[in-house]
Structure formats: C-alpha cells, structure tokens
Amino acid sequence: MQTVAERVEHQLTDKGYVPVYTTRVIEQPWDTYTATDHETWATLFKRQRELLVGRAANEFVENQERFGMSADTIPKFSELNRVLAETTGWELIAVEGLLPELTFFEHLASRRFPVTWWIRKPEQLDYLAEPDLFHDLFGHVPLLLNPVFADYMQAYGAGGVKAAAIAPEALANLTRLYWYTVEFGLIDTPEGLRIYGAGIVSSKGESIYSLESDAPNRIGFDLERVMRTRYRIDTYQKTYFVIDSYEQLIEATRPDFTPLYARLADAASHPAGDVLDSDTVYQRGTGEGWLSDGDV
C-alpha cells in the first residue's frame, strides 16, 4: 500500500515554519507487510534488545515481554491493544506518518497513541528522518503500560491542546519538553543511569552514545530549564536531561503552564549544549564532535 502524504499545516520551530505532513487514521494493513518488512523488524528488534538490557530502564524490556512483542513478526496493533485495554486503557491507532500537532495532542489527551504503520527499508536500519513503525512500537509503546508514564502522556496531550490555543511559541516550549523526556530522556535508577526516551531506544548509535560517550552533557531535569533549551534533530543530542522517576515528570508538569509560557515568551532560549550554573550536572560534556550551528 502506497500513500502520498499531503501538506496540511505548518509548525513554528526556532528554525521558522516547517511543514507537517499527514493524514488520517487507518487500519493497520498487517497482511501487506512483506517478508522483508518482517525481517527488518526482526533485525532491529534483536539488535536493540541486546543493546538495551542494562541500558534501558528495566521495565522497558519487561513491558515488551508483557505485550508479547518478539522478533518473530511485526506485532499486530489489535493484539497489543488487548493488553492495553486490560491495563492502562490506552489504544494504538495506525497512521501514515506525523500528524498535525493539534490532532496528535487530541489523540494523546484521549489516550490514543498514533503509531506509523509502515516500517523502514533495509538500507535505513541505522537512520531515517521520520518516525516509522519500529520507532513508534518498539520505542514508545512499552512505557504506555506504566501507569504513571501513561498518565503523563495523556496530560501532555491535554497540555498541547491548551498551548495550541495560547501561542505558537508556547507550543515550541512544550515540544522541547516532549523532546527531552519522551524522546530523549534518561532516568536515574539504583543501577545507574538508564534510557527511557523512545528516540534513543530505537537508535543503535544513540543507545550507546547517550549513556557512554563523554561528549554530551547529562543534566538533572528541571521543567523550565528544559522548556528553554533548544535541541538537535539531525545529530545525537548535545544534552540529555535526567529524571529521578516518572512521578517527578507528573509532579513537575501538574501546575498550570499559562504563567510559565508568558514568562518564557520574554526569556532567551539556551543553546542545546550550554551548561548553566543552576544545573545539576551528572556529566559535563566534552563537546567532542558537536556541530556549532543547527540547534532547533
């Protein structure tokens, strides 16, 4: 099945307005996956699972097992949905790609998680620019079984609907929060720093880099700090923010953000690689390999 994405709206980032593509909710066309698609899933699944034991938060692999995800075949959303219905009440819906922001937020606020139905090509195992099925399912879906994280995702969706009605700049602040938590977050555990961000767990290189490289900063999570910090969409992150627990995320984001957005509208943003005096520093990055421009 081939679909042509349609340009539907523009989203304000620090780089200006960028196009957002997409469309509608569909049925996962499971029967159309080719043997190559299933093989791509198997290759990525085995490779990441091996890397992530001891690197990702323990419940990440545990929850994949609770879902019955395996290397054998691409999971059926309908089967994953049975597990979600009995636990946190989330529902996966199949989409063709990135949704317009407001549509995405409305789904999250209703505990529906959009998952890209198609999987990358064999030549894209290490990198592709857009989210695909592997990123969405392997990376995002496991934590939807965690009751606290599941609530955070819903609250984020509701917060997005609200921010969209305030100003594009408010949305840009909120997007940074998603980026540095849901996509690129680290968590401090008794066994040391672990990964919980979906953008990291679905990437071989960044799974290692985010924890083991001396180049990036690792800084304690602080809501306002995160919402002021620019990020990279084209390279590994210069800075990772570390939470103590998922409860910390829920608690920090419980207050009404309206006054915060007003304050941030007058505050300068921080370059992605900056370390501030007020930061709790786990690791001050050497900055090796950083590009000097291109923060979003």
> Residue 135 catalytic?
yes
Q: Which is nearer to ligand PHE, 27 or 251 (CB)?
A: 251
Cα separations in angstroms, 22 against 53, 113, 182: 34, 15, 21
> Residue 183 catalytic?
yes
Reduce the secondary structure of 28-46 to three states and give it as a string.
CCHHHCCHHHHHHHHHHHH
Site for Co ion in 128-147 (CB under 5 A): 131
Least separation in angstroms between CB 102 and Co ion = 17
Query: Residue 198: CA atoms inside 13 Å, Cβ hemisphere, count?
Result: 22
Q: Which is nearer to Co ion, 131 or 160 (CB)?
A: 131
Q: Which is nearer to Co ion, 177 or 264 (CB)?
A: 177
Supply 83's token pair: 């597990």
Q: Which is nearer to ligand PHE, 5 or 155 (CB)?
A: 155
Per CB under 6 A, 90 contacts ligand PHE: no
Between β-strands 25-26 and 91-95, what pairing exists: parallel, antiparallel or unpaired? antiparallel
> Residue 278 catalytic?
no
Q: Which is nearer to ligand PHE, 80 or 170 (CB)?
A: 170
Which string of DSSP letters, residue by residue, matches 44-112? HHHHHHHHHTTTB-HHHHHHHHHHT--SSSPPPHHHHHHHHHHTT--EEEEESSPPPHHHHHHHHHTTE
Q: Which residues contact 106 (CB under 8 A, 6 or more apart)?
A: 157, 161
Residue type for 257, please?
F
Q: From the candidates 96, 101, 107, 140, which is the catalytic residue?
A: 140
Per CB under 6 A, 159 contacts ligand PHE: yes
Q: Which is nearer to ligand PHE, 44 or 108 (CB)?
A: 108
Using the 8-state DSSP alphabet, how is residue 277 labeled?
A: T
Share in percent of the chain as helix, strand, coil (round to 5)? 45, 15, 40
The Cα 178–Cα 153 span in angstroms is 9
**Which does residue 257 touch among ligand PHE, Co ion, none (CB within 5 to 8 A, set by kind)?**
ligand PHE
Per CB under 6 A, 155 contacts ligand PHE: yes
Site for Co ion in 194-223 (CB under 5 A): 198
What is the total count of residues that contact ligand PHE (CB under 6 A)?
10
Contact pattern for ligand PHE over residues 167 through 186, marking x by CB under 6 A: ----------x---------
**Which does residue 191 touch among Co ion, ligand PHE, none (CB within 5 to 8 A, set by kind)?**
none
Per CB under 6 A, 104 contacts ligand PHE: no
- Buried b / exposed e across 17-42, counting CB within 10 Å, b at 16+? eeebbbbeeeebeeeebeeebeebbe
Between β-strands 217-220 and 91-95, what pairing exists: parallel, antiparallel or unpaired? unpaired
Least separation in angstroms between CB 287 and ligand PHE = 30
Q: From the candidates 96, 101, 107, 135, which is the catalytic residue?
A: 135
Per CB under 6 A, 259 contacts ligand PHE: no
- Residues engaged in binding Co ion (CB under 5 A): 131, 198
Indicate which residues carry an active-site annotation.
Answer: 135, 140, 183, 202
Binding site for ligand PHE (CB under 6 A): 155-156, 159, 162, 177, 253-257
